Every structure is written in C-alpha cells, then in structure tokens.
Chains A and B, each alone.
Chain A
Amino acid sequence: MGPADLLQLLDQTQPRRVRAIENLLRGRRTVSTLYWGQRYQLLALLSLAKQLDRGALDAAAQQVVQQGLASWDANHERLVLTPRGLAAQQSATYFHPQTADWWPTIDLMTARQRILLAVQVASQFSHHAGHYLPLTTDMATRQFVRNWFHQVKANDLGTQVLAALTTSLAKLDPLVAAVVTGQFTGYQQAGQTLGQLSQTTQRTPWEIQLMQFEGLAQIMQDAKAPTNPFNSLLQPLWQTPVSRSAQITLNTVKQGQTLAQIAGERRVKVSTVREHLLEAAIMLPLAAFPYDRLLAPATRDQFKAVVQGPVDDWQYTELPEALQKQYEFFYFRLYAIWVGKQGEQHGK
C-alpha cells in the first residue's frame, strides 16, 4: 500500500493512528483495532490485506509526511491531513467504492476464489472444453465449485452466467467492470494478474483490489436472487460481521444472563465476555445490540454530564474518581461506541 492509498484513509480534523489502520487491514480483531476502525469509519477494510507485514504502512506514512500532505501528532502515532493533503485527497481521481457497507458481511476472500473458479469452469464448459488446468485454489473451494457445477450444469449455463455477470457489472463504474472482467480466467483467456491490471489502468495495486472487492460485492448482492446461477455458490458466504464466540456471548446476554454468569458457564474471564460485547457493539447497528440492558439511560446521563469535546479525545483516566470507581472502562467505552453510532445514525 503506497502513499496515494494511505492519503485516502486520512482525515483533516481527526488524527488517525497508522498502526490501527494497519491492524485493521491485517485483520487483527482486537477491541482497540475495531473501535478505532469504527471511529475512522474504515471498518469495511477489516481483514482485506491479511498478508501485510507489521509496519507495512510505515514507509507510506513517512512519504505522505515528507510530501507535506500530512503531519504527525506529538507522539508520532497519529497522522492528520494538512490543507495541501486535503486538496490532494479531493483532487485525486481515486476510486471510491459504493458497496463497502456490505464488505464486512461477506467472506470476500472465499467469494473471490469461488467466483473466479466458477467463471473458468462455466467458460470452458460453454466452449465444450473438458481438458484444462483449473485455477489454483484450496481444496475446499474446488470441491464446492465442483458440486455447484454439477448442480447447475445445463446447456445454457454459459449464457446464464454471462447474463448475470453483465447485469451486475453494468451497475458499476465501467473501469471496475473492466478490472473484474480482465482478471477472469477461462476459455483461451489466461486472465490478467492484479499487478498487470494496475499497470494497464495506471491505478495503484490497492485501488485494483478495491475495485475487485466492489465487483465481488455486487455479484454477491445480485446472487441473492434464487434465479441467479451463482445463488447456491455464493449465498453461504454472507456472514455476520461478529466473530462466532462474540455472537454466542451476545445471544446469552440477550437471554438475560449477567456477565459473571456467562463467564462461569463459558469458562472464560469476565474481561473476555466484555471484549466479546464490545466487538458486537462496534460491528452491529444500534438496534441489534442491547444497549439499554448493559448501559442504562441513567448511566449514559452520568457520563454525559462529565465528558466534553470530540469523542476521540475522551480519556477514562480523566473521569472524576468517583465515576471511575463506579464504572469500569468497559462501560465508558460502550458509552463512546453508543455516542459514535448515534452520530452515524444522524448522518454525521
């Protein structure tokens, strides 16, 4: 990921932690990473670049600073755009995905493998070519696509797939459609690598990645229709954005158990139960989380009376001592998440 890509992830008023963005991309699902991901409205990027090494954004960060586009805060941890940086961000013809809200609810990596292999299989089949090297995928994908193929095999499979893909891609920026099509492998078509697409389109490799996620998400969305040929292939890849164990914890809370009871039953620490709940609160919409049960309106009022300024600047350690004694950090963080989500809801 280069400086042009990082520039798009920064803000003029909100200083942003480079390490948090990096951890988000690498899929480190700690509460802290998720919390800042939500604060920066970048949660859609979660786990989209798992292969990144630690420190992989450092060079890009240094470059945006050297180019005068952003500056460090006092601790050299957070970057904020300079006016020049803001101008550069706005003038760049950088790609902005429209489907990003869906991304956390899709297993994009598996979707990509399945779609690419399914397109290859359907393409070869429609040209009556039975003898070809399949794309390199893991065995589970291969098995799944094989089963799908036997299920949907029909003389007009090629026509059906072509029609479905054309409909989905026509809804997108033509460049996105070209990038998604260009990477397909099939009959007498090797397909372009993402690197090659980046070269021919003069877009950064990360932009090409974003474009293909956009395409995949649209194909996923349209495949919800039972008549879409990809329906059975892709339907199982919709997922809740919350991890399995956090989901279990959340369900038990909703049934009325206390955190201590859950911890005892699940044989985990109370702190783990709290982490699960914070993760769920961050990843789910306001209405899907039992705020009233865990953060009574009276508690919210207590916090509201003492905190000031932007949410990002709130510090638990700056709360009045009595309040700190009464409420652990968990409640303070949950309040911040609630306030943040209220803001999002009101279009802020």
Chain B
Amino acid sequence: MGNEPLTASLERVFGYETFRPGQQAALEALEAGNDSLAILPTGAGKTLIYQLYGYRHAGCTVIVSPLLSLMADQVDRMRLGGFRRSAAITSQTSYTDRQTILDQLADLQFLFLSPEMLAQPKMLTRIKQLTISLFVVDEAHCIVQWGPDFRPEYLLLGAIKEQLGNPLTLMLTATAGQATRQEIAKQLRSQPTIVTESVNRANIFLDVDRVNDEADKKERLQQLVSRLQGPGVIYFSSKQLATDTAEWLQATTGVRAAAYHAGLSGEDRFKIQQQFMSGELDLICATSAFGMGIDKNDIRYVIHYHLPGDLESYAQEIGRAGRDGQPSVAILLYAPGDEQLPLALGQANRPDEAEIAQYYAQPTKFDDSEPTVHLLAFYRQHGISQAAVQRLFVKREQERNRALAGMVAYAREDHCLRQRWLAAFDEQAPAHTEDCCAPQATPLDIGRLDLGRVVNSADKATPMDWQTQLARLF
C-alpha cells in the first residue's frame, strides 16, 4: 500500500476525492520520513491524517491524548469509521478491560494512551515491543499549557519518544503561535515540518460584551440566549456553574439546554452529545472538555462566560462555531476583574518558593496525593534540583501572565478584535469593517448578523405515552 498515491488511499478508505487544506501537506511530510507539526483549525480533519497514515503503513499508530474521559468516545468513533483494531488505555480503564487490551496489543492498529499511562515503566516496556508506525501527540499545545504545572508527564514525552527508538512523529493542534510551536518541537526533540493554515474564520463575527459585574453578566447572558438562533455553546470554567446555568436558562428562556463536562458519566455524555447532534438540544453549557469529537457543523454561537487563560484556548473554543461556513458569532462576556479567576486557577496548583524549599528539605513528610506535592515529587524523582524547579515555576508564572495579558488585551480592545486576535498568531487581519467584529464599546447587532432566534413550534415536542415511545424504537 506504501506505493499507492495518497489520493487513491483517501478515496479507498474515506470515499473523498480531495483532501482538505493541510491534510495532504502533513501526510506528504510523513511519507517522506519527516516529523510533522500540523496546526489546523478545529474541524479541519486532523484525525484523518493519522488514520490514513496508519492505514497505509504496517505497525501500530500510538496516539497520546490528554482528555481521559473522551478517549473511549474517540475509540468508538474510530471503530465506527471502520478502524476496528483501535483501543484506549487510561487511568479510567478498568483492570479487566486493560488486561484484554494488553493481550491483544500486537494486533492493534491504533492505540490511544494518556501521557501518564505511557510514562508508567511497565506500560512503556510493553509499548517498546510494538512496531510503531507513527507516534502522534494530539492536542500538542497541552505540552506547553499543562505540562509544567498541571500534568508534568507531558514533559517526559521527548525522552519517551527516544526510548521508543524515535518513531516518526505527528504533532497536532488547532492553535499554536510561534512560541508554542518552538516549545512543542523542543520538548519532543524534533525538527518537524510545520504545516499550518490560517486560524482566521471570516464567517465568525467577534464580539466582546462589556458588563459591570456578575449580576449584569447573568442578565446579559439570559438576553443573548433568548435572542440568538441556536444551536449554541456557552463555555464556563466551573462544572457546577455550567450545570446550574443550563437549568436556569432552560427554565427562564425556554431553550432546551444541558450541561456537558468531564464529570458526567460516559452514558450521560453519550446521550447529551447525541441530543445536541440531532437537534433535540439548542444549547450546551460546557467546560473545556466539550469539543473534541463533536462533529456538529451548524453551531451558530459560542459564548464565553469566563475569561479563558490565553488566546490559544479561546481560538480553539470559538472555532467550534460555524464550521459549515455560515454566519456565526463568538461572544466574550467581560466584567472588570474577570482576569482574577484564570489567575487564581493558574496559581492554585503552583507551589511558592517556601513550599518548594520545605518539600525538598523533607520530601517524605508530604502527602503525594495533593496535586502540588505530586508535581514536586515528579520533579524531584526526575532529578531536577530545587533551584531549577524554582526557576521553572517563576518562568511558568511569567508565561501564564503574559498569555493572560494577551487575552485581557483582546477583551479591552477598542478598535478591531480580529486584528488583535490574529496578531497573537503572527497573522495579518483583513481590513476592519462593520462585518468583522464589535469591540467592547460597540453594541452587538443580532438582527444585522441575521442570527435572530426563530422559535420553531416543532421544538416543543408533545409528550408521548410510553407505549408509543417504545414502539417507535422498534
């Protein structure tokens, strides 16, 4: 199969005649034996790149993926797509399931692992015995966003890759500025061919709504949801607030809303996703766990209730809107002081100088289940000195603050949001027009955007008796 032209494989496996932008360039780099860093917007079909490569080459494609609870969904989707020899192992995989997968390891074509699982010596030994055709790091920006102070196992990926004999590597992400790209390449000890498409999405209107305080924000949110045409997604930083707001909006605006976050059971996640896909829900109140694998093209609005920590996350999340190319809107609700929350969330997991010193003085006296201690234990066990750890956290704080400052600057931008946004990715924005964005001082004109809510009477399903409902299933 190695000699078949890429487009012939594409047609054979997926039935498409042409690639989407970026897919072919990434595959060509891999086929030429070069690592590839593909920065392609949400919905560009990043999964297809490793699916097709895995199909064309013998051996196992190992995919490192960050979101534990969603990996099982991803495997289901692979199987549905015809890639039946797929499996995932995470800390959430039960002992029995894990044994079953390990027994069949040699036959797998695609194996999804969390970085923590891959870093376990026993697991690594097993993976070393595989013939790895391609090593994929999905959501590669997590190395930078989460690595140093949240999931340090990400920092081991470079060393792990070497231990695996430096397999051909594909790094995937939706958004990465120059600094992030360099850091990903450095961490993975790779000089990849970079494939990138513009992050700009001309059909998404950008809006920042300046509000005075929390109460004002809630009221504005309710107004927007009542007036905007769905389907929509609202992003929150907290599961509880996402859950409460979904209930409140459903009760007060009549939209059909549900919450979606990593705390839901697999069954609930499945049902909410399916309801949203089939149009039984107008609105999802989500945390950042929502997104991956949701192939819904007609999301009309994405609202951020909380300020994200950086423009890369923001770009990733608003990218869920308007994948069908139709007019859509991304709204950021911003109250003065909103930056305090991401600041606090960033600091929650970061030990200060005194804590680091105390830990290094008497490491055995601390409880390893505490996230901060776990982090320090990780560094200490990997031979990182106290001074180096202190420098690392200081540097990390500076980076986070810089990233947050970029986000705040976007929120407070007076002229053109798109320009501000794209500049963070070293891109030039087209000249500003009224159809581009509405910065904080400019009110959002929903009518002009043609995104006004049309209340469809069919939305109000008449309740069915259980016999009818049951009969409809069969």
Contact = CB atoms under 8 A, between A and B. Distances in A.
B474 A181 contact: no
Interface stretch (B199-207, B271-279, B422-430): B271-279
Given A133-B80, A136-B76, A177 B473 contact: no
Contacts of A140: 96-97
Nearest to A186: B473
Interface residues of B, number: 34
B278 A188 contact: yes
A190 B275 contact: yes
A62 interface: no
Nearest to A143: B100
Given A133-B77, A140-B96, A169 B268 contact: no
A166 B101 CA distance: 38
A135 B267 contact: yes
Interface string B252-284: 000000100000001111111011011010000
B272 A193 contact: yes
Given A133-B270, A191-B271, A196-B258, A138 B94 contact: yes
B26 interface: no
B274 A190 contact: yes
A104 interface: no
A162 B471 contact: yes
Contacts of A188: 278
B89 to A, nearest CB: 11
Contacts of A136: 72-73, 76, 266-267, 269-270
Contacts of B76: 133-134, 136
Contacts of A134: 76
Interface string A135-176: 111111000000000000000001101100110010000100
A141 B345 CA distance: 39
A220 to B, nearest CB: 18
A136 B247 CA distance: 25
Contacts of B471: 162
B361 interface: no
A193 B472 contact: no
Interface stretch (B314-322, B382-390, B439-447, B462-470): B462-470
Given A182-B469, A190-B271, A193-B268, A123 B474 contact: yes
Contacts of A195: 268
A184 interface: yes
Nearest to B97: A139
Nearest to A181: B466
B474 A162 contact: yes
B472 A189 contact: yes
A192 interface: yes
Contacts of A191: 271, 274
A8 B250 CA distance: 30
A115 to B, nearest CB: 12
Contact of A185 (B77, B100, B247, B270): B270
A165 B271 CA distance: 21
A126 B473 CA distance: 8
A186 to B, nearest CB: 4
Interface string B220-262: 0000000000000000000000000001001000000010000
A136 B274 CA distance: 12
B98 to A, nearest CB: 10
Nearest to A175: B466
Contacts of A174: 465-466
A178 interface: yes
A216 to B, nearest CB: 14
Interface in A177-212: 177-178, 180-182, 184-196, 199
A292 B94 CA distance: 43
Interface string A100-135: 000000000000000010010011001000011111
A336 to B, nearest CB: 38
Contacts of B250: 199
Nearest to B472: A189
Nearest to B274: A190
Interface in A264-280: none
A140 B100 CA distance: 9
Contacts of A184: 470, 473
A178 B270 contact: no
Contact of B474 (A126, A185, A193, A196): A126
Contact of B467 (A138, A166, A186): A166
Nearest to B270: A136
Contacts of B267: 116, 135-136, 193
B470 A138 contact: no
A159 B272 contact: no
| From A126, A178, A180, A181, residue with most partner B Cβ within 10 Å | A181
A301 B269 CA distance: 59
B247 to A, nearest CB: 7
A123 B465 CA distance: 18
Contacts of A196: 258
A184 B100 CA distance: 28
Nearest to A163: B474
15 contacts: A119-B473, A132-B80, A133-B77, A133-B274, A135-B270, A136-B269, A159-B474, A166-B467, A166-B470, A169-B470, A177-B466, A178-B466, A182-B469, A192-B271, A193-B267
Interface of A: 116, 119, 122-123, 126, 131-140, 158-159, 161-162, 165-166, 169, 174, 177-178, 180-182, 184-196, 199
Given A169-B466, A190-B277, A199-B247, 13 more contacts: A136-B269, A139-B101, A140-B97, A161-B474, A162-B473, A178-B469, A181-B466, A186-B474, A189-B473, A190-B280, A191-B271, A191-B274, A193-B272
Nearest first, the 10 closest Cβ-Cβ pairs linking A and B are A136-B266, A190-B274, A158-B474, A186-B473, A162-B474, A123-B473, A181-B466, A178-B466, A190-B275, A193-B268
